[in-house]
């Protein structure tokens, strides 16, 4: 499995609409040998960056996508940070809401943030993707 396939899985799981679709996609991804987890997220972007990083690491450990090593935790945090940096220019000062998708196969870990960004119902859509190898 290569980094492109693992990244596609992270994007796919982040784009699910509800828990039922998320479960079906996780099963499909697992059949291909890729572990995954998705986290719903919402809040004011500027104050949420740390929470996004923490939730990505905690959910990855909870669901067995990574173990307890610093290298694995750092890989998820680094990939999540990379994904966040890609959406900063459209998100600063606004609210975000959507999902964080994380996938892993072997040494490849990818994190995708897929958010609606805006005020009230005036939203734009952003996507950021980060990858690390352990």
Tell me: the pLDDT tens digits for 5-31? 999 999 999 999 999 999 999 999 999
* CATH architecture of the domain formed by 3-133: 3-Layer(aba) Sandwich (3.40)
Give the pLDDT mean for 86-102. Answer: 94
Kindly tell me if the per-residue pLDDT of 79 is higher than 80. Answer: yes
Residue 121, pLDDT score: 75
Q: Could you report how far apart the first and last alpha carbons of the chain are, in Å?
A: 14
* 84/73 Cα distance (integer angstroms): 16
The secondary structure element, H or E, covering residue 1 is none
């Amino acid at each position: 499995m290569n980094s492109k396939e693992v990244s596609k899985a992270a994007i796919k799981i982040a784009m699910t609409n509800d828990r039922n679709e998320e479960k079906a996609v996780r099963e499909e991804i697992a059949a291909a040998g890729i572990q995954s987890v998705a986290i719903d997220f919402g809040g004011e972007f500027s104050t949420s960056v740390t929470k996004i990083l923490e939730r990505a690491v905690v959910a990855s450990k909870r669901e067995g996508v990574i173990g307890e090593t610093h290298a694995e935790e750092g890989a998820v945090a680094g990939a999540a940070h990379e994904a966040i940096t890609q959406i900063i220019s459209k998100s600063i000062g606004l609210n975000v809401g959507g999902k964080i998708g994380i996938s892993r196969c072997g040494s490849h870990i990818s994190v995708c943030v897929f958010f609606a960004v805006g005020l009230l119902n005036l939203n734009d859509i952003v996507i950021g993707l980060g990858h690390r190898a352990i």
